[in-house]
Structure formats: structure tokens, C-alpha cells
Amino acid sequence: MTEFETPDADTIQPGSRVTLHYTLRLEDGMEVDSSRGGEPMAFVMGDGSLIEGLELVLYGLRAGDRQDIMISPRDAFGYPDEENIHSMPRSDFDPSVKLEPGLIIEFTTPSGETTPGAITAVETDTVTVDFNHPLAGHNIRFEVEILDVQPPTEGERT
């Protein structure tokens, strides 16, 4: 399709309502998330449900299509950023929680949003927390099966 052609109503395009099953795997094949065995994912293209790199591989697909593609960290969950690793006072943590490397804790940001952080080190007075996405730096294999595509409504076109 050239930039001057209009996509068919049954192909995924900005604003399409899409229902799909997906599986995310690491490069070594380890499954990290999947809708298979449960309810399929339903969303509107461009609504923020999927990160842009995953969404881009869906454009032009139709109901019944399957896609299996390896996505680089740049287009998936990004690369780890040292600025997302913070040393925090031990006193900021509930004393009843046994802090150890690998433990993931939900934190509340100053704006009230919640975000997970992975404990990477525990010292007497400080705890090091990594707020990078757990899949940052990984190539991601994105497997999808498109179950249904509904054309965008006038208000959903982007």
C-alpha cells in the first residue's frame, strides 16, 4: 500500500478496534506475558494500550492474520537507564518487609501514579532500587493472532 492509498476498513489502521491474542517471549524463548488461555486483548489502535513498537507491527493486518516478529529493545521496552536506579534510605521501607535483591515493590510517585521497582542491593542504611522496565534491554518476540478488526469511528481516527 502506498502513502496515497486508503487502507481497507478490515485492516488495522489508526483508531481500529482490535481484538487479539498475544504472547511476549524473550529471545531465548522464555514466555513473559500472554493472553492465550484467557481472555483476548481488545483495544483501540493508538489508545496507549500497547507500546508503539508493538503497535507498529499490527498495521495492515486483518482478522485471521498471525504475526511473529522479533522487536529490538529500541522499539520494545527501551534500554536500561542508569538514571532510573536510585539509592533510598532503608527507613523509607516498611520494617516488616524482608528486603532482598530481586524483590519487586510497588512505589507511589509524587504525582500519585504507581510504578514497580526491583531491589538490586540492600545495605545497612540504604536500598538500591531499579525502576527500569523489567524487559528493558531485551529483544522481544511478539506473537499475535488477530481475532477481530473493526474500522475506526469518526472520533477514533488519529
Based on the fold, state whether residues 140 and 70 are members of the same structural domain: yes
Say which amino acid occupies 43.
F
Q: Torsions phi, psi of 66, nearest 5?
A: -125, 145
Q: What is the reported pLDDT for 53?
A: 86
pTM of the model: 0.73
Q: What is the reported pLDDT for 14?
A: 93
Say which amino acid occupies 2.
T
Range of the domain at 67: 17-77+136-152
Q: Which three cell numbers stand for residue 53?
A: 513498537
Domain presence at residue 53: yes
Write the DSSP string, 82-134. GGGEEEEEGGGS-TTS---TT-EEEEE-TTS-EEEEEEEEE-SSEEEEE-S-T
Tens-digit pLDDT string for the chain (158 aa) = 445 445 577 899 999 999 999 999 999 999 999 999 999 999 999 998 888 888 999 999 999 999 999 999 999 999 999 999 999 999 999 999 999 999 999 998 889 999 999 999 999 999 999 999 989 999 999 999 999 999 988 755 54
Other beta carbons within 10 angstroms of residue 101's beta carbon come to 12
Residues with Cβ within 8 Å of 143's Cβ and at least 6 positions away in sequence, in order, are 22, 23, 24, 25, 66, 67, 68
139 alpha carbon, distance to own chain's centre: 13
Q: What is the reported pLDDT for 1?
A: 47
Helix (H) or strand (E) holding 41: strand 41-44
Based on the fold, state whether residues 48 and 126 are members of the same structural domain: no
CATH of the domain at 108: 2.40.10.330
